[in-house]
Amino acid sequence: MGITFRKETFRDDFTFKNSPEHIRRFPFPFHEDSYMYAVNIEPHVLGPKGSVLENLIDVDEHYVAEMQDRALVLAEDPLRCQSLPHMTLAGWDLLELLMEQQAVGYPEHFTLSRDGDKWRWINRPLGIDDSFTFGDVSTLPYGPMEYITRQSQGDFCILDQRDGNLWMDAGMVTTQADWSLDFDIGMNFFEWHAPVPLAHEKGIFTRALKFLTNIQQGKPARRLNWTMTINPRLDTSPENYHKWGPDRATVTPENVGDKVHLRVELQSFWRLPRSNGIVFPIRCYLIKMDELVTQPKWARRLHRVIRDLPDELANYKGLTRYRRTLVEWLSKLDDGSPTSPGFGPD
């Protein structure tokens, strides 16, 4: 068995799609017919088989293509991966976490063997078989964080914890929803969240920080966040705004189903044992409207959520330009009947 990895692109000809099984496992983020910020954090524990929570670090059919896209982004812009000098130990913590989780979750694809500090890592989908000394940077082709995050889906921010705050001191960020690691590096929790509207006034960040600084080893937590993206583009960074920003003006009633994608981030938070830092994986899932509306409940609910979204939020998420076209298109799939509680399809 094992995953059949798709050959697809997240740029140029945009051949990315989800298989029918992947549509059903999509982490739809709305548990009710409206949306407002909340500190929607819960323990990151295993979920049902066949869901994206079947393993705590999810690997799916897009793995190989996503890693190829990451390599392209890094070749053009090496500053998408940065680690301040005091963060190397945390990089080793992350390498251990991702190797262990991927090897446990997908033994047919990944194998980790450890003998003291002599480690061997086999990544079959990417054709990697490396032996190295844990803790010795000179035995790997990249620093520990870069090495393992070139082989792990999702963006990764490593946060240093000190002075009762969290500091964005390392990260691999190539699949982001319009924020820049190069801009945020070295900032604290309040500084890098400064652009978010409404949430500061609600005291959400103060409470969230208090929770995050108390995350304990062996007890990770998670939350979902969402936005929308035109075309299945992973790299919607400020650095490349000139490439993807204009896409938002290309949405027409005819192409909504193919072009408009719901973009969901499964964000998790883990205490790192040696460095006492926190790693914050941001795993991005994309689904185009044509795929999403194959689940009638999701179609009805998404229509109501986007229609009723406060303008500040719609603006912040960059939906304003095509929101009316999208709502119009979705409205045809909403007969007004009630939706069942919970996230999953009916």
Partner 1 sequence: MSTGTTKLDVVVSDVVPVNELVTRFHFRRRDGQLLPTFSGGAHVVVEMRDGERTRLNPYSLMGSPLDTREYTISVRRDDVGRGGSLFMHRHVRPGMEMVISYPVNLFSLDLRARKHLMLAGGIGITPFMAQTAQLAAEGGNFELHYTCRTASLGTYADVLKDRYDRRVRLYHDDRDERIELDRLLSSQPLGTHLYVCGPSGMIGWVRDRAAALGWPTETVHFEHFAAPQPGAPFDVTLAVSGKTIRVGEQQSLLEAIEAAGVDPPYLCRGGVCGQCETNVIAHDGKFIHNDHWLSEEEHRCGKKIMPCVSRFEGRSLVLER
Quick check: 296 and 346 in contact, CB under 8 A? Answer: yes
The only residue of 15, 217, 252, 320 in contact with partner 1, by rule CB under 8 A: 217
Nearer Cβ to partner 1, position 191 or 328?
Answer: 191
Q: Which residue has the tokens 């009723």?
A: 308
Tell me if 89 contacts partner 1 by CB under 8 A. Answer: yes
Give me the sign of the Cα torsion angle 122, 60, 264, 100: negative
Smallest separation, CB 178 to partner 1 (Å): 29
**Site size with partner 1, rule: CB under 8 A:** 24
Residue 210 contacts partner 1 per CB under 8 A: yes
**Binding to partner 1 by residue 160, rule CB under 8 A?**
yes
Q: How far is the CB of 91 from partner 1 (least distance, A)?
A: 12
Contact between residue 35 and residue 305 where contact means Cβ atoms under 8 Å apart: yes
Question: Nearer to partner 1 by C-beta: 107 or 135?
Answer: 135
177 touches 265 (CB < 8 A) = yes
Measure the CA dihedral 231/51/269/68, to 10°.
Answer: -40
Neighbours of 323 (CB within 10 A): 19
Is residue 214 part of the contact set for partner 1 (CB under 8 A)? yes
Q: Which of the residues are catalytic?
A: 223
Q: Which of 50, 141, 246, 273 binds partner 1 (CB under 8 A)?
A: 273
Q: Does 82 bind partner 1 (CB under 8 A)?
A: no
Q: Binder to partner 1 among 22, 24, 86, 321 (CB under 8 A)?
A: 86
Please state, in angstroms and rounded to a whole number, the distance separating the CA atoms of residues 184 and 188: 9
Q: Which stretch binds partner 1 (CB under 8 A): 1-9, 19-27, 34-42, 302-310?
A: 34-42
Q: How far apart are CA 232 and CA 61, in angstroms?
A: 15
Q: How far is the CB of 276 from partner 1 (least distance, A)?
A: 4
DSSP 256-318: HHHHEEEEEEEEEEEE-TTT--EEEEEEEEEEEHHHHTTSHHHHHHHHHHHHH--HHHHHHTT
Residue from 22, 162, 193, 321 binding partner 1 (CB under 8 A): 162
Residue 145 binds partner 1, judged by CB under 8 A = no
Q: Which range in 75-83, 119-127, 217-225, 253-261 contacts partner 1 by CB under 8 A?
A: 217-225
Q: Which stretch binds partner 1 (CB under 8 A): 146-154, 161-169, 234-242, 288-296?
A: 161-169
- DSSP characters for 16-77? ----HHHHHT-----SSS--------EE-----TTSTTSSSS---TTHHHHHHHHHHHHHH-
Q: Which of these ranges, 8-16, 144-152, 274-282, 290-298, lies near partner 1 under the rule CB under 8 A? A: 274-282
Pairing relation of β-strands 221-230 and 165-172? unpaired
Contacts with 339 (C-beta within 8 Å, 6 or more apart), sequence order: 33, 297, 300, 301
141 or 273: CB nearest partner 1: 273
Q: Which two tokens stand for residue 315?
A: 């603006």
**216 near partner 1, judged by CB under 8 A:** yes
The single-letter code of the amino acid at 266 is L
269 contacts partner 1 (rule: CB under 8 A): no
Kindly state the smallest distance separating residue 208's Cβ from partner 1, in Å. Answer: 10
Single out the segment in contact with partner 1 by CB under 8 A; choices: 60-68, 215-223, 239-247, 332-340.
215-223
Binding site for partner 1 (CB under 8 A): 39, 41-42, 84-87, 89, 160-163, 210-211, 214-219, 273-276
